[in-house]
Amino acid sequence: MGRLESGETFAIVERRMAPFFYAEPRTTNQARALAAAGRPGTSFAPSRMVTMDGAELVRIECPNTASVQALRDAVHVAGVRTYEADLRLSTQYLVDRHIHGTAASRASGEQAAGWAGSTRIQRFHPRSLEPLLSVLSLDIETDPRADTVYAVGLAFQDRGR
């Protein structure tokens, strides 16, 4: 969800990305535990991700977020380290695309099925933008016990206008 340059709000529903996390099976026993804990619909794939000391990580995709949590908890018992298993899927989406602030999108021009008045997004990527923010500062002067108000000051700056 966000706000467009026009001031209108938007929401993006991404259904192509499966919930996932990374795991570090350093020993054969940990690899076996990881495979045994997998649920139906779980897939294991090599990844380009490595730990800070160079250990290779396996990407584990699950059919839903509940499966991620259950699998994560099961492999922790076996001593397998996990990475990004505590992140929400929406956060993983942004991290994987290096989106850490503002973003831009390109619409395909076709209507999104089931969403009245919405357009299907073709690409979502990072973008540099300095937002025009409004600032309000409120200063209240009171006696030490805050029984009496001596003064109230407001300072307002609206960079958006």
Asked if the structure places residue 29 within a domain, the reply is: yes
Asked if the structure places residue 153 within a domain, the reply is: no
Host domain of residue 44: 20-96
d(CA 141, CA 148): 9
pLDDT at 120: 57
Asked if the structure places residue 148 within a domain, the reply is: no
pLDDT at 67: 86
Q: Taking the CB of residue 126, how many other CB atoms lie within 10 A of it? A: 14
- Both tokens of 111, joined, read 């209507």
pLDDT at 149: 95
Tens-place pLDDT, residues 106-121? 655 555 555 555 555 5
pLDDT at 160: 62
Please report, rounded to a whole number, the percentage of residues in the chain having pLDDT higher than 70.
Answer: 76
d(CA 60, CA 38): 9
d(CA 109, CA 122): 9
pLDDT at 148: 95
Asked if the structure places residue 81 within a domain, the reply is: yes
Asked if the structure places residue 160 within a domain, the reply is: no
Asked if the structure places residue 129 within a domain, the reply is: no
d(CA 60, CA 72): 10
pLDDT at 119: 56
Asked if the structure places residue 85 within a domain, the reply is: yes
Low-confidence ranges of the chain (pLDDT < 50): none
Contact (Cβ atoms closer than 8 angstroms) between residue 65 and residue 39: no
pLDDT at 39: 73
Q: Which amino acid is at 27?
A: T
> What CATH number should be reported for the domain holding residue 83?
3.30.70.2250
Total domains in the chain come to 1
Asked if the structure places residue 41 within a domain, the reply is: yes
